[in-house]
């Protein structure tokens, strides 16, 4: 029996999860939000510090375990905002020292992918669409490889920035989704406004679209609902296109969603349609399965860190005893394909 705690703090969310033998038994989180602006890293870090103790207690309570039952402490080592990562690491190290239990450094993006196992996905292509990250990732020969990604900003940050221009606060994603639904007329069709469509091979670019949207917003010629609708239709189609290309390239038959933007029901719908219409190599349709975790596991959360933490703890991958904590540091720019996957 192994019980592993996971701590998430890469950006706006402080989360603590507990996993026991591959089963998630707690997932508590608290998110830093603002009324009008975007994330201020130092403010978000301050938020994490303030809520850490109470989130930790709530997680133990939910799991029904005592501190002494914890066998290892895992934490998000990167990528992320340095001040936020530091708060999580400080909390994790203090716990490791106090409980005399090992520390496991976990890559946040890989955790989004691995936690997809709870949905039944076995060897998927992951469309990881979150605030800072937008990547299409799949396992191949010892590593998680990035097959496509944004060349500039993450899809969530892109949406949040547009929301900030429109003065509707952070996080913008859910508000944009609602506005996009409001754009739909009686026929079910939204009022589409043409935007640039920028797919470059396996990658996408969003900053040009953001500039275009900003100009349209400032011209006051377009209702915000229609811009929100067109933003979703255009950029989500780009995500679906690169995901499908990755599926074809690596010959995998499962698509998994991850990241906060994957909470969007229109993105889920578009991915589902693509999967059901995809043909396999012998021309049969519907051979790609679609997997999407529940919302609490899609957004940044401690449970996915505990989930991968347990796997890595058992595989002795990036595990440090409480006596060698000075060897561990945050890795704000860590890349998915830097990780040697020794546990598969």
Q: Which residues of the chain form contacts with ligand AMP (CB under 6 A)?
A: 11, 13, 130-131, 156, 159-160, 171-174, 177, 259-261, 263-264, 299-300
In the list Mg ion, ligand AMP, none, the entry touching 204 (Cβ below 5 to 8 angstroms by class) is: none
Nearer to Mg ion, 130 or 157 (CB): 130
Minimum CB distance to ligand AMP, residue 54 (Å)? 20
Minimum CB distance to ligand AMP, residue 86 (Å)? 18
User: In whole angstroms, how large is the CA radius of gyration of the chain?
Assistant: 20
Nearer to ligand AMP, 124 or 154 (CB): 154
Q: Note whether 264 binds Mg ion by CB under 5 A.
A: no
d(CA 339, CA 332): 14
Which positions from 123 to 162 touch Mg ion by CB under 5 A, shown as an x/- string? -------x--------------------------------
Minimum CB distance to ligand AMP, residue 21 (Å)? 26
Minimum CB distance to ligand AMP, residue 163 (Å)? 7
For the record, the structure tokens of 127 come out as 């469309």
| Exposure class string for 77-96: b at 16+ Cβ within 10 A, else e | bbbbbebbbbbbbbbbbebb
Q: Which of residues 295-334 bind Mg ion (CB under 5 A)?
A: 300
Total residue length of the chain: 344
Q: Which of residues 50-89 bind Mg ion (CB under 5 A)?
A: none
Given strand 143-149, what is the order of strands in its sheet?
143-149, 134-140, 125-129, 254-258, 289-291
Quickly list DSSP for 2-47: -EEEEEE-SSSEEEEEEEETTEEEEEEEEE--BSSS---HHHHHHH
E strand or H helix at 56, and its extent?
A: helix 41-63
Residue 128 and residue 113 in contact, taking contact as beta carbons nearer than 8 Å = yes
Minimum CB distance to ligand AMP, residue 228 (Å)? 10
Q: Find tokens 């996957």 and name the residue.
A: 341
Nearer to ligand AMP, 245 or 266 (CB): 266
In the list ligand AMP, Mg ion, none, the entry touching 16 (Cβ below 5 to 8 angstroms by class) is: none
Residue 104 and residue 319 in contact, taking contact as beta carbons nearer than 8 Å = yes
User: In terms of Cα–Cα distance, which of 247, 287, 232, 230 is closest to 148?
Assistant: 247
Nearer to ligand AMP, 72 or 262 (CB): 262
Nearer to ligand AMP, 8 or 254 (CB): 8
Given strand 72-78, what is the order of strands in its sheet?
23-31, 13-20, 3-8, 72-78, 103-107, 319-320
Size of the site for Mg ion (CB under 5 A): 2
Q: Within 10 Å of residue 273's Cβ, how many Cβ atoms?
A: 12
Nearer to ligand AMP, 103 or 132 (CB): 132
Nearer to ligand AMP, 87 or 300 (CB): 300
In the list Mg ion, ligand AMP, none, the entry touching 171 (Cβ below 5 to 8 angstroms by class) is: ligand AMP
Task: Catalog residues that contact Mg ion under the rule CB under 5 A.
Answer: 130, 300
């Amino acid at each position: 029996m192994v019980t592993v705690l996971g701590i998430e703090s890469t950006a706006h969310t402080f989360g603590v999860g507990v996993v026991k033998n591959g089963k998630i038994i707690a997932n508590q989180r608290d998110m830093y939000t603002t009324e009008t602006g975007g994330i201020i890293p130092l403010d978000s870090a301050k938020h994490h510090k303030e809520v850490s103790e109470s989130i930790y207690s709530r997680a133990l309570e939910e799991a029904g375990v005592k501190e002494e039952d914890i066998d290892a402490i895992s934490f998000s080592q990167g990528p992320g905002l340095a001040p936020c990562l530091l708060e999580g690491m400080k909390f994790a190290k203090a716990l490791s020292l106090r409980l005399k239990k090992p520390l496991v450094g976990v890559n946040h993006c890989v955790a989004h992918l691995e936690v997809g196992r709870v949905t039944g996905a076995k060897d998927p292509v992951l469309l990881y669409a979150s605030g800072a990250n937008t990547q299409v990732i799949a396992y191949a020969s010892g590593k998680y490889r990035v097959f496509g990604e944004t060349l500039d900003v993450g899809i969530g940050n892109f949406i949040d920035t547009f929301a900030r221009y429109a003065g509707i606060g952070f996080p913008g994603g859910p508000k944009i989704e609602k506005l996009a639904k409001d754009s739909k007329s009686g026929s079910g069709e939204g009022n589409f406004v043409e935007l640039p469509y920028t797919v470059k091979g396996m990658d996408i670019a969003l900053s040009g679209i953001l500039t275009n949207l900003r100009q349209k917003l400032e011209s006051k010629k377009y209702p915000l609902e229609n811009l929100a609708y067109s933003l979703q239709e255009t950029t989500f189609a780009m995500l679906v296109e690169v995901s499908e290309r990755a599926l074809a390239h690596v010959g995998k038959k499962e698509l998994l969603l991850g990241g906060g933007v994957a909470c969007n029901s229109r993105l889920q719908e578009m991915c589902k349609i693509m999967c059901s219409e995809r043909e396999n190599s012998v021309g049969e349709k519907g051979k790609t399965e679609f997997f999407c975790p529940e919302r609490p596991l899609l957004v940044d959360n401690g449970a996915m860190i505990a989930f991968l933490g347990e796997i890595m703890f058992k595989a002795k991958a990036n595990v440090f005893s409480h006596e060698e904590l000075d060897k561990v540091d945050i890795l704000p720019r860590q890349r998915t394909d830097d990780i040697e996957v020794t546990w598969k």
